[in-house]
Structure 1
Amino acid sequence: MARILAIDYGLKRTGIAITDELQIIASGLTTVNTKDILEFLKDYATKEKVELFLVGEPKQMNNTASESEALILPFISKLEKLFPEIPIKRVDERFTSKMAFQTMIDSGLKKNQRKNKALVDEISATLILQSYLYAK
């Protein structure tokens, strides 16, 4: 089997999470500067077999698209062109940043460590991936 890669796309940073080859465990991989994300994914996909991209879908409480969706759609278009053989699915990412922050608190990270926004993005991507695996 190949891996599933989840993307928490952001204006400045993009969190990345990945499954193991059996698609059982979701793990945070890294956070990448958004301007470098396509190059990072291209490099990663040459080293590891990726079966599916999951891209977070930010929604408002009334289920309409959030403002950041306008940034994500052009990224998805580029992703489709770069990897036409890898399907892309969207996953509701409401509350993932808040849940990521709470996860950091629950795991005992000090206040200074919790200010690391890159870590929040990586954990958010992991939560997106984990929710997909649970629903699968």
Structure 2
Amino acid sequence: MARILAIDYGGKRCGIAVTDESKIIASGLTTVDTKELLNWLKEYVSKEEVELFVVGEPKRLHGEASESEKLIQPFLEKLAKLLPDIPVKRMDERFTSKMAFDTMIASGISKKKRRDKALVDQISATIILQDYLYNL
């Protein structure tokens, strides 16, 4: 069975989350340098069956696209050319970084680990994927 993979796209690094094969549970997988993301995705889908990519859609408070969207659009175009058989859905990612930080506090993660931006990105990707699964 295929998985769903979520990406919290960033200028420096991208958080990655994935579902189990039954598409019930979203789990943080890793964080990848943005420069390496397309190669990483190509390698991942050669080993694991992925039926869908869910990419965070950064919006401002009132719903308009944020500046980050300018970085994401070229990535989406390259992704569509590299892996044309895997569709992409977008998911509103407003407040996911704040929710990730709050989740880290609630789960007792140390202050030192909460400063780890890569971990925040990975948890943000997990929240994006959980939101997608919830809204199916």
TM bucket normalised to smaller: over 0.9
Report the TM-score, using the length of structure 2 for normalisation. 0.99
- The whole-number CA distance in structure 2 between the counterparts of 1:62 and 1:106 is 28
2:108 is the alignment partner of 1:108: yes
Superposed displacement of residue 34, structure 1: 0.5
- Residue 86 of structure 1 is matched in structure 2 by 86
Superposed displacement of residue 124, structure 1: 0.2
- The whole-number CA distance in structure 2 between the counterparts of 1:18 and 1:64 is 27
The CA deviation string for residues 31-75 of structure 1, in whole angstroms up to 9 with x for no partner, is 000000001000000000000000000000111000000000000
Superposed displacement of residue 79, structure 1: 0.5
Question: Residue type matched to 1:22 in 2?
Answer: S
Question: Residue type matched to 2:103 in 1?
Answer: T
- The whole-number CA distance in structure 1 between the counterparts of 2:135 and 2:58 is 18
Q: Which runs of 4+ in 1 moved over 6 A?
A: none
- The whole-number CA distance in structure 1 between the counterparts of 2:42 and 2:76 is 14
- Residue 73 of structure 1 is matched in structure 2 by 73
- Residue 33 of structure 1 is matched in structure 2 by 33
Question: Residue type matched to 1:107 in 2?
Answer: S
- The whole-number CA distance in structure 2 between the counterparts of 1:109 and 1:19 is 23
Provide the aligned C-alpha RMSD in A: 0.4
Superposed displacement of residue 110, structure 1: 1.1
* Residue aligned with 1:15, SS: strand
Q: How does 1:1-136 map to 2 (within 5 A)?
A: 1-136=1-136
Superposed displacement of residue 19, structure 1: 0.3
Question: Residue type matched to 1:19 in 2?
Answer: T
How many residues were matched structurally? 136
What percent identity do the matched residue pairs reach?
Answer: 69
Question: Residue type matched to 1:34 in 2?
Answer: T
